Amino acid sequence: MRYIVRRVAQSVFTVFAVVSLSFGIVRLLPGGPADYLRAQLLQQGGSLTQSQINQRIAAQTNVNVGEPLYVQYVDYMVNVLQGDFGRSIWYDDSVASILGKAIPWTVFIMACALLLAFVVGITLGAFMAYREGSSTDYVGTAVSLVTNSTPDFIVGLVALTFLGYRFGLFPTTGHYASEVTPGLNLPFVVSVVHHGTLPILAISLYSFGGWAMDMRANSIRVLGEDYLRVARLRGLPERRIALRYVARNAILPMYTGLLIAIGFVFGGAIIIERIFGYPGLGYYLIGAIDARDYPLMMGGFIVICVAVTIGVLIADLTYGIVDPRAGGGDRESY
Amino acid sequence: MSRTDDSPRTDGGTVSDFDAVANEQVGAADRRREWVEEHLLAPGRVLWSDWRARIAVTVLTGYLLMGTVAWVSAAEWGPTIVPRPSPNQGPALVGAFRTLEFPLGTTFSGHSILSQVVHATPAMLKMIGAGAVFTVVVGATLGTVAGYKGGRVDDVVMTLVDVALTIPGLPLIIVLAGALTDSLQGNPYVIGVLLSINAWAGLSRAVRSQVLTLRGAEYVEASRVMGLGTGTVLRRDVLPNLMPYVTMNFVKQARAVIYGSVGLYFLGVLPYNAVNWGVMMNNANSQAGAVSSPAAFHWLAVPMVTVILLSLSLTLLAQSGDRLFNPRVRARHVSHTSDAPAGVNVDRDGTDRTDDEPPGADPEPDPARREEP
């Protein structure tokens, strides 16, 4: 119980630190947004008074630079904690509503990619472990190493070039075709899956190798345990040994890794989303930087960080349930 | 070791062990030779015995060579081996492997792609080095101090680490790069550090837990009792045990810097003032539509392959790296213990360990350091 309270308090502190950090980036960083906008406005012409300049900066950064520093800070914190990230300059809409629309798409492709990579990875890893030293093992290891060393955006670009443009099998941008109506109808679902395939493929092709190598190492370790010899001596069917004895114990150490990966889902697809023009969180984050749209940029950053913090917190708190040996103790997952 | 007749121990030991004096002096030269043997030659042999490491070291040497060629070519004093890329070096969009003059083809504005790839290497290596060194130094220092000092220092550092671990790296880097566009100036060292801004956290956590167990070890306590200063104890007794973590994290972070920098240069988020593999990909895409036009695809593909090869060799190096710190494997390769009888056994799975079990945590003393009887 004490552990849970401590862990939750720590997460709250992390969120607090993230918001403070983003205030620091906007307001205090030399050459940061506030400084940049002031320099721009001063350059444009001398007709603006100091308070007019401050007003403009306030409109564009969500921070009223005319006030004393601590007032700015408190205002900023209060606004953000109420879910008010200001207005996007580029889209002329509230940042919260833009990001709210983007989140489901990011979650969709990342969840699919994560699931696909995990399932393929542990299956391959288990096979490699069972046939350790065979040609299956060598080919599997080589494939895992090569795909895991190819950044996802490179996979994405190659997929886009060939499957998207050259052969025209998949759409090259967007999240669903413009002619379908969003809702629970077949054309819409098909269109969403069709648009999501390449981004999902790119991310999972890059990440399954890591899971496979982890699973292989864990399974080899479990295969050497005494309780497996006992199970074999008892004459248990090989299938049952493979699933109940080996797979379970080999996957267990990867559970926190998986949950932390779920936590990082929100920030993981930034480059891919941009390449495929897929309007998720990362797409808007990069777009905001290109357009120097500071409220949207900082809003995206805070939303991603908070989501990750919650994901990691859940991972830590549930580990004790999944692995009773770690239960209740002051164990931390990373 | 030779024993002369006047050695007190040859006659059955009339002199107690405490009175025995070593009759052989280990000179500074011997010590130096031993140090080289133990710290350079033996690890080198261990690495070389593994096919993954052999590939990795060969490829990495190639990249270092490429960087050197670029450096020499760009310098005033050196011969120009590969000319600097410049517009209209050749016709526009020559394909790869078509002409000897432009082996990798040319860009839309007639730059030689080979020149671009080669001349982008030094900045890339600087970036990777800066990021990896920064991560390792900050991570190991904070972890060691937190673990060794404990108490309030530990609490503060660990809170910092927890926050840094939770903040996702890439968004933070992107936001910082976006906010700092005008002050970064494309300096490769600064960008390398920026790309590693919170990567030290994982290392310091691992180092701290390692230091916590080491702190209570008998030989560390002995050093403390002998009155050695904190710095000396840390340097002599603690740091050598942390080398596995430090080396692994160095390689990991080097790879992360490559990913981050190429990805963000490709998106145009990072500022630059020289040619770069990510910038090449960006230009190929934005100037010639390399994704949709087959005529320009080589412009995109060459930097891609360059990046993949470099990151693959780092992956292989990391994979084979933990053999380096497996004392049993290393003992076999230290020449002055190689004539030892079968006492040092080769364990089968020592050759193939890929799990992240900390090899340094092996409680067995390092046989390579054992003195000969």
The pLDDT tens digits of the residues spanning B109-118 come to 778 888 888 8
CB–CB contact A297 B269 (8 Å):
no
Best CA proximity match to B282, nearest among B256, B262, B302: B262
C-alpha dihedral over B153, A313, A22, B260, to 10 degrees? 90
| For range A11-31, the mean pLDDT | 83
Alpha carbon distance B215, B147 (integer Å): 8
| A171 and A260 share one domain | yes
CB–CB contact A148 B202 (8 Å):
no
Q: Which residue(s) pair with A94 in the sheet?
A: A87
Are A101 and A190 in contact, with CB atoms under 8 Å apart? no
**SS3 state at A297:** helix
Q: Which of A27, A52, A84 is the last residue of a domain?
A: A84
| A244 and A296 share one domain | yes
Domain count of the fold of chain A? 2
Lowest mean pLDDT among A37-46, A151-160, B215-224: A37-46
Residue reference for tokens 């432009």: B102
Residue A89 lies in a domain: no
Residue A191 lies in a domain: yes
Confidence of residue B62 (pLDDT cuts 50, 70, 90): very high
Confidence of residue A71 (pLDDT cuts 50, 70, 90): confident
Distance of CA B6 to the CA centre of its chain: 51
Task: Write down the pLDDT at residue B12.
Answer: 52
Residue A8 lies in a domain: yes
Task: Write down the pLDDT at residue A119.
Answer: 93
Are B207 and A322 in contact, with CB atoms under 8 Å apart? no
Burial-class residue A68 by CB neighbours within 10 Å (0-12, 13-18, 19+). exposed
% residues pLDDT > 70 (chain B): 79
Across B229-243, B303-317, B333-347, the highest mean pLDDT is recorded for: B303-317
Please report, for residues A53, B3, B6, B69, the alpha-carbon distance to residue B12 in angstroms, rounded to integers and kept in the order given.
95, 13, 12, 66
Lowest mean pLDDT among A31-45, A275-289, B301-315, B333-347: B333-347
For residue A94, is pLDDT > 70? yes
Residue A16 lies in a domain: yes
A 2-61: CB under 8 A from B: 10-11, 13-14, 17-18, 21-22, 25-26, 29-33, 36
As separate numbers, helices (DSSP H) first and strands (DSSP E) second, chain B gives 16, 0
Alpha carbon distance A334, A258 (integer Å): 12
Distance of CA B288 to the CA centre of its chain: 36
| A78 and A105 share one domain | no
Alpha carbon distance B336, A306 (integer Å): 56
| A133 and A259 share one domain | yes
Size of interface A-B (CB pairs under 8 A): 145
Name the residue facing A30 among B183, B267, B352 (closest C-beta).
B183
Range of the domain at A140: 95-326
Q: How many CB atoms lie within 10 A of CB B63?
A: 18
Task: Write down the pLDDT at residue B53.
Answer: 84
| A103 and A169 share one domain | yes
Residue A333 lies in a domain: no
Name the residue facing A14 among B166, B266, B312 (closest C-beta).
B166
Distance of CA B196 to the CA centre of its chain: 14
Task: Write down the pLDDT at residue A241.
Answer: 85
Alpha carbon distance A268, B357 (integer Å): 26
| A146 and A252 share one domain | yes
The string of pLDDT tens digits covering residues A197-215 is 899 999 999 889 889 988 9
Best CA proximity match to A142, nearest among A150, A154, A152: A150
| A45 and A130 share one domain | no
Alpha carbon distance B188, B313 (integer Å): 22
Confidence of residue B349 (pLDDT cuts 50, 70, 90): very low
Does the pTM exceed 0.90? no
For residue B334, is pLDDT > 60? yes
CA angle B152, B156, B160 (to 5 degrees): 165
| A80 and A99 share one domain | no
Residue A334 lies in a domain: no
Task: Write down the pLDDT at residue A85.
Answer: 81
Across B11-15, B137-141, B183-187, the highest mean pLDDT is recorded for: B137-141
Confidence of residue B246 (pLDDT cuts 50, 70, 90): confident
Q: How many CB atoms lie within 10 A of CB A247?
A: 18
φ/ψ of residue A222, rounded to 5: -65, -40
Q: Which residue(s) pair with A93 in the sheet?
A: A88
Dihedral of CA A65/A66/A71/A74: which sign?
negative
Alpha carbon distance A208, B140 (integer Å): 30
Are B308 and B339 in contact, with CB atoms under 8 Å apart? no
Lowest mean pLDDT among A96-110, A151-165, A221-235, B350-364: B350-364
Alpha carbon distance A138, A144 (integer Å): 10
Alpha carbon distance B219, B113 (integer Å): 57
Q: Which of A84, A114, A137 is the last residue of a domain?
A: A84
For residue B107, is pLDDT > 50? yes
CATH code of residue A218: 1.10.3720.10
% residues pLDDT > 70 (chain A): 91
Alpha carbon distance B292, B275 (integer Å): 23
| A63 and A111 share one domain | no
Q: Which of A84, A105, A140 is the last residue of a domain?
A: A84
Give me the amino acid identity at B105. Answer: G
The alpha-carbon gap from A185 to the nearest alpha carbon of chain B, in Å, equals: 32
Task: Write down the pLDDT at residue B24.
Answer: 66
Give me the amino acid identity at B278. Answer: G
Task: Write down the pLDDT at residue B345.
Answer: 40
Residue A167 lies in a domain: yes
Task: Write down the pLDDT at residue B307.
Answer: 92
Nearest-Cα residue of chain B relative to residue A161: B291
Q: How many CB atoms lie within 10 A of CB B271?
A: 16
Dihedral of CA A156/A158/A162/A166: which sign?
positive
CB–CB contact A166 B162 (8 Å):
no
| A126 and A236 share one domain | yes
Q: What is the mean pLDDT of chain A?
A: 82
Residue reference for tokens 């990046």: B307
Residue A311 lies in a domain: yes
A 194-253: CB under 8 A from B: 213-214, 216-218, 220-221, 224
Alpha carbon distance A176, A278 (integer Å): 9
Distance of CA B109 to the CA centre of its chain: 37
The string of pLDDT tens digits covering residues B29-57 is 888 888 787 777 877 787 787 788 888 88
Confidence of residue A122 (pLDDT cuts 50, 70, 90): very high
Q: Quick check: A312 contacting B, CB < 8 Å?
A: yes
Residue to substitute from B166, B197, B258, interface A, most A β-carbons within 10 A: B166
Decide if the complex's ipTM is over 0.85.
no
What does the buried/exposed string (b/e) look like for B285-299 if buried means 16 or more CB atoms within 10 Å of the residue's CB?
beebebbeeeebbbb
φ/ψ of residue A192, rounded to 5: -65, -45
| A119 and A164 share one domain | yes
Alpha carbon distance A274, A172 (integer Å): 11
Burial-class residue A1 by CB neighbours within 10 Å (0-12, 13-18, 19+). exposed
Task: Write down the pLDDT at residue B23.
Answer: 63
Q: Which residue(s) pair with A194 in the sheet?
A: none
For residue B129, is pLDDT > 90? yes
For residue B314, is pLDDT > 70? yes
| A217 and A257 share one domain | yes
